[in-house]
Amino acid sequence: MTIENTPVLIVGAGPVGLMLALDLAWRGVASTVVEARPAGEPPSVKCNHVSSRTMEALRRLGLSRAVRAKGLPDDYPNDVVFRTRMTGRELARIPIPCRRDRYRRNSGPDTGWPTPEPPHRVNQIYFEPLLFARAVANPRIKILSHTRLDSAREEKEQVVASLTDLGTGETGTLRARYLVGCDGGHSTVRRLIGGRLEGDAVIQRVQSTLIDAPDLLAALGSPPAWMNYNYNPERPGNVLAIDGVRRWLVHNYLLPDETEFDAVDRDRCIRAILGVGPDFRFEKVANEDWIGRRLVADTFRRGRMFIAGDAAHLWVPYAGYGMNAGIADALDLSWQLGAVLSGWAPDTLLDAYVAERKPITEQVSRFAMNHAAGAIQERNTLPAEIEEDTPAGEAARRTVGEAAYALNVQQFACAGLNYGYFYEDSPVIGYDGEAPPAYTMHLYTPSTVPGCRVPHFHVADGRSLYDLMGEGFTLLQLEKTAETAALVAAARERGVPLTVLPINRVTDRVPDAYRHALLIARPDGHVAWRGDRIEDAGALLDLLRGASTRPATTDIAPARWS
Ligand SMILES: Cc1cc2nc3c(=O)[nH]c(=O)nc-3n(C[C@H](O)[C@H](O)[C@H](O)COP(=O)(O)OP(=O)(O)OC[C@H]3O[C@@H](n4cnc5c(N)ncnc54)[C@H](O)[C@@H]3O)c2cc1C
């Protein structure tokens, strides 16, 4: 087995590994991806939600339109609905625009967000192959399918990895400057770096089945939806529309005493969730049973080896933030690896990865777990009369519907999870003492506090700020007289890519959060620094590129636009 050496070896061509490879390639860095599955073998039917934040990254990579074109039919409602059973009565509905209306509809809880790319509802079986095809076509990415990473060790500033071709049984060695394990929940790389998962091992067992049911759409108790919760005391469950025609993923939430997946009568439970009798026609395509957990690895790195995505954290997929949080890991690591391998940052920059991502994954895992606790409680306390055709039944449906809406709108309109998180204790951010605004799963307050996501706006001609930002750092000049030359010169001296972007406060639609004359955006769209003037441009840039641990001289004079 002859394998060329590579700057970055990525283990796993799941969504996280593929996004890492594509983002590195966009930054000019080549990588090799090893994947145990044969090329073309689809992933299992798991993730159904590509977050707005992930869509923003896909937009930068030129892929958001192609991703949005995948999934449910153009006019299929992306709503979340709560019914007693699929064929039963509707209790409540969270409206979410269908693909056709996604960019223009502005009513509903997940519209009008400050982004050029709202979320997209699409299953991983459509999303992942698209990433794979783009990665295969990219000259900077080499994919070794049907190849397994067996072990790896560090040697002379390199990682030496042992691989096996699973088709031929041949083994080989590959040398890389860095290795990133995006190899999922059973990660080999996590083991190699000595990482241990910590948290709650079992929160909920879910018996999931992909079914083919050509007659279900026409039999629904109310208009179609993307996600369909079913609240009845016999068997609560959740059903996802996969192709908007006949494929559905049925989640059967097992009761606490149902600890063996195979001991629960799958067919009977599916029929109860659907609300259909023994004659209703459906075929089981695949079983996708899984356990909802809340586990985060105690470390995400050892030396030149990193882990990201499910390899680093696993939690109940509430708010659709398993894959998306993993992709956020990949994007954080990508710009840092890109900077180091392009030679404009020392490898101390990479210390920021664990400092930034580990606390966020802890936070998100707790949001998801708290939500899971609320959802489990809701399912287990359904009033017995909820399906009755009586005033008591009517009242029960209203009460449960209102509660279900209030609880779940937070996870399905999770602006806070998308935009609210901030890097609070990073060694490469120029903090100025102001605390970032708190966020919840649902609520987001735009802020330019260093560490937060750069608040989005459209410039006068309608273009998105994000489309104008450079590949490296971007210096937003929000006041014409603000001095930029020293930073430009310091960047040139150090080879740091820097774009200066003049902003017109009068004509551009600048949010109130922008209170300073200058703001430096990082390559990943987080605020690196803000102020009215830069005292020592070289020192500031060295801090931001990981070349100094000395706090930057930051102008913290009261902002002029507060
Ligand atoms: C029912 C369900 C619903 C979900 N819904 C959502 C959702 O709506 N939104 C969301 O964000 N997330 C969701 N998730 C979570 C999401 O599916 C995962 O977080 C995501 O797939 C993780 O991606 P990954 O690339 O880290 O790992 P994986 O997708 O597991 O990919 C890892 C890859 O590594 C390969 N691999 C492993 N070991 C090796 C080795 N030694 N050598 C070579 N290759 C190897 C594997 O073959 C695999 O292809 C859901 C999960 C479940 C179970």
Ligand 1 nearest atom to the CA of residue 185, by list position: 30
Angle between helix axes 537-544 and 485-494 (nearest 10 degrees) is 50
Tell me the two tokens of residue 546. Answer: 């990981």
Dump pLDDT digits (tens) for 205-220: 999 999 999 999 999 9
Judge whether residue 93 has pLDDT over 90: yes
Judge whether residue 551 has pLDDT over 80: no
Query: For residue 136, is it within any domain?
Result: yes
Share of the chain above pLDDT 90, in %: 87
Q: Hunting for tokens 């955006």 — which residue is that?
A: 521
Residue 545 DSSP one-character state: T
Can you tell me the distance from the alpha carbon of 553 to that of 384, in angstroms, rounded to the nearest whole number? Answer: 64
Region 328-345 average pLDDT: 98
Per-residue confidence (pLDDT) for residue 560, from 0 to 100: 32
How far CA 212 is from CA of 85, 215, 235, 253, 459, in Å, comes to: 18, 9, 20, 20, 47
Q: Is 210 in contact with 284 (CB distance < 8 Å)?
A: yes
Kindly report the pTM of this predicted structure. Answer: 0.95
Q: Is 116 in contact with 262 (CB distance < 8 Å)?
A: no
Please give the mean pLDDT across all residues of the chain.
94
Q: Which amino acid is present at 167?
A: G
Per-residue confidence (pLDDT) for residue 464, from 0 to 100: 98
Per-residue confidence (pLDDT) for residue 319, from 0 to 100: 67
Q: DSSP string of 341-383?
A: HHTSS-GGGGHHHHHHHHHHHHHHHHHHHHHHHHHHHHHHT--
Residue whose CA lies nearest to ligand 1 atom number 50: 47
Query: For residue 428, is it within any domain?
Result: no
Per-residue confidence (pLDDT) for residue 562, from 0 to 100: 26
Query: For residue 473, is it within any domain?
Result: no
Query: For residue 464, is it within any domain?
Result: no
Per-residue confidence (pLDDT) for residue 375, from 0 to 100: 87
| Residue 224 Cα to ligand 1 middle (Å) | 28
Dump pLDDT digits (tens) for 127-155: 999 999 999 999 999 999 999 999 999 99
Banded pLDDT at 549 (limits 50, 70, 90): low
Q: Is 451 in contact with 422 (CB distance < 8 Å)?
A: yes
Specify the number of domains making up the chain: 1
For residue 339, give the nearest of 450, 469, 475, 497 by alpha carbon.
497
Query: Ligand 1, residues 323, 334, 361, 414: which to mutate, most atoms within 8 A of Cβ?
Result: 323
Can you tell me the distance from the alpha carbon of 144 to that of 139, in angstroms, rounded to the nearest whole number? Answer: 14
Q: Is 328 in contact with 300 (CB distance < 8 Å)?
A: no
Judge whether residue 350 has pLDDT over 80: yes
Per-residue confidence (pLDDT) for residue 378, from 0 to 100: 87
Tell me the two tokens of residue 121. Answer: 């509802």
Banded pLDDT at 447 (limits 50, 70, 90): very high
Helix/strand/coil for 386:
helix
Can you tell me the distance from the alpha carbon of 88 to that of 230, in angstroms, rounded to the nearest whole number? Answer: 9
Q: Hunting for tokens 């395509």 — which residue is that?
A: 285
| Residue 310 Cα to ligand 1 middle (Å) | 6
Element (H, E) at 106: none
For residue 344, give the nearest of 529, 140, 546 by alpha carbon.
546
| Residue 285 Cα to ligand 1 middle (Å) | 20
Ligand 1 nearest atom to the CA of residue 124, by list position: 17
Q: Phi and psi for 258 in degrees, rounded to 5?
A: -95, 85
For residue 400, give the nearest of 256, 552, 232 by alpha carbon.
232
For residue 125, give the nearest of 16, 242, 208 by alpha carbon.
242
Phi-psi region of 158 (alpha: psi -120 to 50; beta: other; left: phi over 0): beta
| Residue 425 Cα to ligand 1 middle (Å) | 28
Residue 98 DSSP one-character state: -
How far CA 195 is from CA of 181, 264, 305, in Å, comes to: 12, 34, 11
Bridge partner residues of 80 (DSSP): 94, 227
Q: Is 386 in contact with 400 (CB distance < 8 Å)?
A: yes
Query: For residue 23, is it within any domain?
Result: yes
- CA dihedral of 89, 413, 319, 313, whole degrees rounded to 10: 180
Per-residue confidence (pLDDT) for residue 555, from 0 to 100: 38
Query: For residue 186, is it within any domain?
Result: yes
Q: Is 539 in contact with 528 (CB distance < 8 Å)?
A: no
Region 463-472 average pLDDT: 96
Judge whether residue 561 has pLDDT over 70: no
CATH number at residue 131: 3.50.50.60
Q: Which of 24-38, 158-172, 367-381 has the lowest mean pLDDT?
A: 367-381
Residue whose CA lies nearest to ligand 1 atom number 16: 323
Give the CA count within 13 Å in the CB-facing half-sphere of 19: 32
Q: Using a 6 Å CB cutoff, which residues line ligand 1?
A: 11-17, 34-37, 43, 46-49, 124, 148-149, 182-184, 188, 208, 290, 309-310, 317, 320-324, 326
Give the CA count within 13 Å in the CB-facing half-sphere of 436: 26
Dump pLDDT digits (tens) for 301-312: 999 999 999 999
Judge whether residue 559 has pLDDT over 60: no
Dump pLDDT digits (tens) for 516-525: 999 999 999 9
Helix/strand/coil for 468:
helix
**Domain range for 344:** 6-69+122-197+294-352
Q: Is 391 in contact with 419 (CB distance < 8 Å)?
A: no
| Residue 240 Cα to ligand 1 middle (Å) | 18
Q: Hunting for tokens 């970055």 — which residue is that?
A: 8
- Please measure the distance between the N-terminal and C-terminal CA atoms of the chain and give it in whole angstroms: 63
Per-residue confidence (pLDDT) for residue 550, from 0 to 100: 55
Q: Is 231 in contact with 89 (CB distance < 8 Å)?
A: no
Dump pLDDT digits (tens) for 351-400: 999 999 999 998 888 888 888 888 888 888 899 999 999 999 999 999 99
Per-residue confidence (pLDDT) for residue 540, from 0 to 100: 98
For residue 239, give the nearest of 224, 249, 225, 253 by alpha carbon.
249
Region 285-297 average pLDDT: 91
Residue 192 DSSP one-character state: H
Ligand 1 nearest atom to the CA of residue 208, by list position: 1
Can you tell me the distance from the alpha carbon of 219 to that of 248, in angstroms, rounded to the nearest whole number? Answer: 13
Judge whether residue 556 has pLDDT over 60: no
Phi-psi region of 120 (alpha: psi -120 to 50; beta: other; left: phi over 0): beta
Can you tell me the distance from the alpha carbon of 386 to that of 236, in angstroms, rounded to the nearest whole number? Answer: 12
Per-residue confidence (pLDDT) for residue 554, from 0 to 100: 43
Query: Ligand 1, residues 10, 41, 47: which to mutate, most atoms within 8 A of Cβ?
Result: 47
Bridge partner residues of 158 (DSSP): 155
Instruction: Report which of residues 168 and 379 the model is more confident about.
Output: 168
Dump pLDDT digits (tens) for 185-197: 999 999 999 999 9
Query: For residue 98, is it within any domain?
Result: no
Q: In what order do the strands lie in the sheet with 498-502?
A: 498-502, 473-477, 518-521, 527-531
Can you tell me the distance from the alpha carbon of 254 to that of 257, in angstroms, rounded to the nearest whole number? Answer: 8
Per-residue confidence (pLDDT) for residue 1, from 0 to 100: 74
Query: For residue 263, is it within any domain?
Result: no
